[in-house]
């Protein structure tokens, strides 16, 4: 189909070639070519066709997705794809695959939590998919508070086994993806109970050693039948994520060998004695969780960019309303400032989150290296873990909140058509929403970040050691008197260092205010306990975390721009002189992202005395100017993310902009239209007037 003239025009006026952005997000020309080749394998195989997905129910989606998993495996084997390629290949399916948790959690858990001896058996078995795993932590009664989990693993010295039990309905595992129907094995998080010395007169008693990880076989590897004592179910339809079998698990006296306790960091001897493996760090078990949080930050950028692509392309071709002349064609809705204000800062956010995702992956790699390869001392590893944990918690919370709200905003920006499943936006939104809850509820995560920030703040205020990179800004922010105010220098308000300084001072000031509040709540006569005071200030905690994370995103965004300007970006972008125009576009996005949030949260800056009302007004004006400047490049920026129509699954966001034809084609596929009148129309519903008419006819 011919491309809509509006999109031809939009593409014609872009100031940079979209492939430059593609090269940046892919990490270089070679990686870009490789990803496109992998995608071509998916696009050319009919089994991955997703055109009628929206008409399928949960069971049908699951079965279809299972078949896709099988073909993916064949492709991975046929082309001997490595781990990195396999991940890319799977993501190109744009499908919620039932094996997701095997790849995302189970296998990484084996690699990070199991001893070398254990890995020698489990890892090849998992890689070959003989063992298909899931990660079973959450229970019906407990999610966020994992210390209160009720599943037990009781050591039986007589048989050298653990007896796994979910003693009450509250203890049933509830939610784990891949668990319901797919997994034959689970990494189960359970309380370890070790027998205490007992005399013949007193009954056996057990010591609760807290939560540990256990590899629990669920199904026969050959027949896939459930093993004795194991019950699993799918927990039913969800908002979206229909291809995934989120499940529940009952364990009734299921026996597993002692060797199935994940043993990289802890051991239980034949006699039932617990010990920590020497040289390991107590928080090491959290490494998989951090890996997943980092992936979620990267995912936020990508999914938000998909929604922006759909809504912005649609806004370029959708015409609604006349200008003053009331003649000629109607206006493109993308030309309304309100539409730009709703969409373009989200596009900017997707790019900011990309840089942020790249930075957290680097931080994570550094942490894993130190932790798993034992290259650094305990204290240093502990510090790195704390830093990475705090950074990831706050960023996961902020990025997923903005992306989830942003995807929904993109849907609303498409008007009524955005409410159609074939717009692709309801599924995109529904699938993404879970990211605000999984791997730590977003609100709870803010507490983890702020807990770390407060500790660092107090240590530093009391003359403690040098701050790490996450908190380095305390030093300059506290010394705010010397910072150049926004708009005071030659560059006006578009001054990167001044913007960063301002956001860092806001983050610091909110943190300091919180520290003082906590102190006053716990001191004096009517003082509260530490926990009581903490509960009282939880609203402030959310804002402190948000302020810190927003500054962190901007810091990584600015660092990314610098690497492009310096010509040393890993993607190779920035080396060619022609990339200068592209960098200018990204700089505008940086300021748009910063000023959009600054003007939305202006109250904070004013209250803290960091900005005058005049500067706030200036910043608001600058947002309007930036929207106008980004507008001509909006479609090219979307194109640069390089989503194929197959991946977008949207009648509104198509490359060719032919949304009317696509909507019509989609309506024609609706099964309800396949018979007219609908089969059984007369039998199903006999309205009173018809009954009376028939009675009357019979009477005559
Ligand atoms: C699609 C999906 C997939 C999932 N996949 C898996 C999986 O593979 N494996 C797995 O083990 N689990 C999985 N989960 C479960 C997920 O990890 C939990 O839902 C999550 O940890 C939140 O726990 P909860 O649902 O019990 O909420 P709760 O902990 O009950 O939280 C409910 C509300 O209370 C608030 N709250 C709770 N405690 C506090 C507090 N201390 N301070 C302030 N506010 C508080 C929270 O902010 C939240 O708003 C999945 C969930 C979903 C939705």
Atom of ligand 1 nearest to the CA of 442: 47
Ligand 1 mutation pick, 143, 536, 539, max ligand atoms within 8 A of CB: 143
Could you tell me if residue 335 is inside a domain?
no
Whether 542 is in the pocket of ligand 1, judged by its Cβ within 6 Å, is no
Q: What is the pLDDT of residues 83-92, one digit of tens each?
A: 999 999 999 9
Domain assignment present for 143: yes
| Confidence tier at 608 by pLDDT (50, 70, 90) | very high
For ligand 1, whether the C-beta of 443 sits within 6 Å is yes
Candidate of 100, 101, 108, 138 to mutate for ligand 1, largest count of ligand atoms within 8 Å of Cβ: 138
Q: Is 194 within the bounds of a domain?
A: yes
Residue 14 included in any domain: no
Does the CB atom of residue 94 touch ligand 1 within 6 A? no
Specify the pairing of strand 152-156 against strand 133-136. Answer: unpaired
Over the range 246-263, which residues count as b (16 or more CB within 10 Å of their CB) and which as e? bbbbbbeebebebebbbb
- HEC per residue, 496-547: HHHHHHHHHHHHHHHHHHHHHHHHHHHCCCCCCCHHHHHHHCHHHHHHHHHH
Q: 659 in helix, strand or coil?
A: helix
Cα 306 to averaged position of ligand 1 atoms, centre (Å)? 26
Summarised one tens digit per residue, pLDDT across range 378-411 is 778 888 888 999 999 999 999 999 999 999 999 9
- Residue 280: predicted pLDDT: 73
pLDDT tens track for 663-689: 999 999 999 999 999 988 888 888 899
- Per-residue confidence at 374, pLDDT binned at 50, 70, 90? low
pLDDT at residue 375 greater than cutoff 70: no
Residue 134 alpha carbon, nearest atom of ligand 1: 8
CA of 20 to the centre of ligand 1 (A): 39
Instruction: Write out pLDDT tens, residues 496-534.
Output: 999 999 999 999 999 999 999 999 999 977 789 999 999
- Across the chain, what does the average pLDDT equal? 94
What is this structure's pTM? 0.96
CATH value at residue 219 = 2.40.110.10
Label residue 578 by pLDDT band (50, 70, 90).
Answer: confident
> Measured between alpha carbons, how far is 371 from 376 in angstroms, rounded to an integer?
8
pLDDT at 482 over 60: no
Task: Give CA–CA dist 593/623, Å, rounded.
Answer: 9
Asked whether the predicted pLDDT for residue 267 surpasses 80, the reply is: yes
List the beta bridge partners of residue 226.
219
CA 636 – CA 418 distance, rounded (Å): 22
User: Which atom number of ligand 1 is nearest to the Cα of residue 440?
Assistant: 21
The reported pLDDT for the residue numbered 282 is: 65
**What pLDDT, on a 0 to 100 scale, did the predictor assign at position 321?**
93
Residue 485 has pLDDT above 90, yes or no: no
143 close to ligand 1 (CB < 6 Angstrom):
yes
Q: Which two tokens stand for residue 499?
A: 């913007």
130-144, 318-332, 373-387, 641-655: least confident range: 373-387
Q: Can you tell me the distance from the alpha carbon of 633 to that of 10, in angstroms, rounded to the nearest whole number?
A: 8
pLDDT at 577 (0 to 100):
86
The answer on whether 177 is annotated among ligand-binding residues is yes
Instruction: Choose, from 10, 139, 427, 439, the residue flagged as catalytic.
Output: 439
> Which atom of ligand 1 is found nearest the CA of 101?
8
pLDDT interval class at 563 (50, 70, 90): very high
Name the residue at shortest CA distance from atom 11 of ligand 1: 137
Close Cβ partners of 177 (under 8 Å, ≥ 6 residues apart) = 98, 100, 101, 134, 135, 244, 245, 246, 247
Atom of ligand 1 nearest to the CA of 189: 11
**Domain range for 190:** 116-276
pLDDT in tens, 629-671: 999 999 999 999 999 999 999 999 999 999 999 999 999 999 9
Q: Is the preceding peptide bond at 509 cis, omega within 30 degrees of 0?
A: no
To 5 degrees, how large is the angle CA 548–CA 551–CA 555? 135
For residue 629, is it left (φ>0), alpha (ψ between -120 and 50) or beta?
A: alpha
* Residue 607 bears catalytic tag: no
Question: Is the CB of 431 inside a 6 Å radius of any atom of ligand 1?
Answer: no
496-522 vs 580-600: helix crossing angle, rounded to 10 = 30
The answer to the question of residue 337 being in a domain is no
pLDDT of residue 201 exceeding 70, the answer is no
Q: What is the mean pLDDT of residues 558-568?
A: 97
Residue 190 lies in a domain: yes
For residues 509 and 604, the answer to whether their CB atoms sit within 8 Å is no
Which atom of ligand 1 is nearest to 241's Cα? 1
Q: Is the CB of 616 under 6 A from ligand 1?
A: no
Q: Which residue has the tokens 């007219």?
A: 676
Distance 441 CA to ligand 1 centre (A): 5
End-to-end CA distance of the chain: 59
**Pocket test residue of 437, 439, 531 for ligand 1, highest count of atoms within 8 A of CB:** 437
pLDDT tens, 529-558? 999 999 999 999 999 999 999 999 999 999
- The protein residue whose alpha carbon is closest to atom 5 in ligand 1 is 176
* 245 is a domain residue: yes
Residue 647 is assigned to a structural domain of this protein: no
> Is the shortest distance between the CB of 175 and ligand 1 below 6 Å?
yes
Task: Tell me how far the alpha carbon of residue 145 lies from the centroid of ligand 1, in angstroms.
Answer: 9
Ligand 1 center–CA 444 separation, angstroms? 9
**Number of structural domains found in the chain:** 1
**What was the pLDDT predicted at 198?**
65
- Angstrom distance (rounded) from CA 575 to CA 422: 41
CB of 176 within 6 A of ligand 1: the answer is yes
Nearest residue (by CA) to ligand 1, atom 8, is 176
Judge if the beta carbon of residue 137 lies within 6 A of ligand 1.
yes
Residue nearest to atom 27 of ligand 1 (CA): 143
What are the phi and psi torsion angles at 212 (to 5°)? -140, 170
Give the C-alpha separation, 651 to 663, whole Å: 6
138 lines ligand 1 (CB under 6 A): yes
Nearest to 232, CA basis, from 254, 212, 261: 254
Distance CA 179, CA 649 (A): 27
Residue 62 has pLDDT above 80, yes or no: yes
């Amino acid at each position: 189909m011919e491309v809509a003239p509006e999109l031809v025009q939009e593409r014609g006026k872009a100031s940079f070639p979209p492939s430059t952005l593609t090269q940046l997000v892919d990490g270089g020309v070679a990686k870009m070519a490789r990803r496109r080749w992998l995608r071509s394998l998916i696009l050319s195989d009919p089994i991955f066709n997703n055109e009628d997905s929206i008409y399928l129910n949960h069971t049908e989606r699951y079965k279809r997705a299972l078949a896709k998993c099988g073909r993916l495996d064949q492709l991975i084997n046929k082309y001997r794809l490595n781990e990195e390629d396999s991940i890319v290949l799977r993501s190109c399916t744009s499908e919620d695959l039932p094996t997701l948790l095997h790849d995302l959690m189970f296998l990484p858990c084996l690699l990070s939590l199991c001893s070398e001896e254990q890995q020698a058996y489990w890892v090849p078995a998992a890689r070959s998919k003989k063992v298909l795993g899931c990660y079973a932590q959450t229970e019906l009664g407990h999610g966020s508070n994992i210390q209160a989990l009720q599943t037990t693993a009781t050591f039986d010295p007589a048989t050298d086994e653990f007896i796994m039990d979910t003693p009450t309905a509250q203890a049933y595992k509830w939610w784990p993806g891949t668990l319901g129907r797919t997994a034959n094995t689970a990494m189960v998080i359970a309380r370890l109970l070790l027998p205490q010395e007992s005399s013949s007169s007193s009954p056996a008693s057990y010591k609760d050693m807290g939560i540990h990880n256990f590899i629990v076989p669920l199904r026969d590897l050959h027949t896939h039948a459930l093993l004795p004592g194991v019950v699993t179910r799918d927990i039913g339809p969800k908002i979206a994520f229909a291809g995934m079998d989120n499940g529940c698990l009952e364990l009734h006296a299921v026996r597993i060998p002692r060797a199935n306790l994940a043993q990289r960091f802890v051991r239980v001897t034949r006699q039932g004695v617990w010990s920590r493996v020497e040289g390991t760090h107590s928080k090491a078990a959290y490494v998989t969780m951090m890996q997943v949080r980092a992936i979620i930050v990267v995912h936020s950028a990508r999914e938000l960019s998909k929604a922006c692509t759909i809504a912005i392309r649609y806004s370029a071709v959708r015409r609604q309303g006349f200008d003053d002349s009331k003649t000629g064609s109607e206006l493109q809705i993308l030309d309304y400032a309100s539409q730009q204000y709703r969409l373009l800062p989200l596009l900017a956010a997707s790019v900011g989150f990309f840089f942020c995702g790249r930075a957290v992956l680097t931080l994570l790699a550094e942490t894993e290296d130190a932790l798993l390869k034992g290259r650094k001392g305990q204290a240093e590893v502990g510090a790195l873990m704390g830093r990475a944990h705090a950074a990831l918690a706050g960023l996961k919370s902020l990025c997923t909140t903005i992306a989830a709200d942003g995807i929904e905003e993109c849907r609303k920006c498409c008007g009524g058509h955005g409410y159609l499943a074939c717009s692709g936006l309801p599924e995109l939104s529904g699938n993404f929403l879970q990211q605000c809850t999984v791997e730590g509820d977003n609100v709870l995560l803010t507490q983890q970040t702020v807990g770390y920030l407060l500790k660092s703040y107090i240590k530093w205020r009391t003359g403690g050691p040098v701050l790490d990179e996450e908190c380095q800004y305390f030093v300059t922010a506290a010394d705010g008197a010397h910072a150049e105010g926004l708009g005071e220098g030659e560059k006006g308000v578009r001054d990167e260092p001044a913007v960063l300084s301002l956001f860092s001072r806001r983050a610091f000031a909110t943190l300091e205010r919180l520290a003082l509040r906590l102190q006053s709540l716990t001191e004096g006569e009517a003082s509260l306990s530490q926990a009581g005071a903490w509960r009282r200030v939880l609203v402030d905690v959310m804002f402190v975390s948000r302020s810190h994370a927003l500054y962190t995103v901007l810091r990584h965004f600015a660092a990314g721009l610098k690497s492009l300007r310096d010509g040393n970006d890993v993607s190779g972008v920035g080396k060619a002189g022609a990339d200068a125009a592209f960098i200018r576009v990204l700089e505008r996005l940086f300021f748009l992202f910063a000023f959009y949030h600054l003007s939305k949260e202006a109250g904070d800056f004013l209250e803290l005395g960091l900005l005058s009302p005049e500067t706030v007004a200036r910043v608001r004006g600058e947002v309007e100017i930036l929207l106008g400047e980004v507008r001509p490049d909006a479609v090219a920026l979307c194109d640069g993310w390089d989503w194929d129509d197959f991946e977008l699954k949207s009648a509104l966001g198509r490359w060719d902009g032919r949304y009317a034809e696509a909507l019509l084609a989609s309506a024609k596929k609706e099964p309800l239209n396949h018979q007219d009148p609908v089969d059984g129309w007369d039998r199903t519903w006999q309205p009173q007037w018809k009954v009376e008419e028939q009675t009357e006819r019979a009477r005559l």
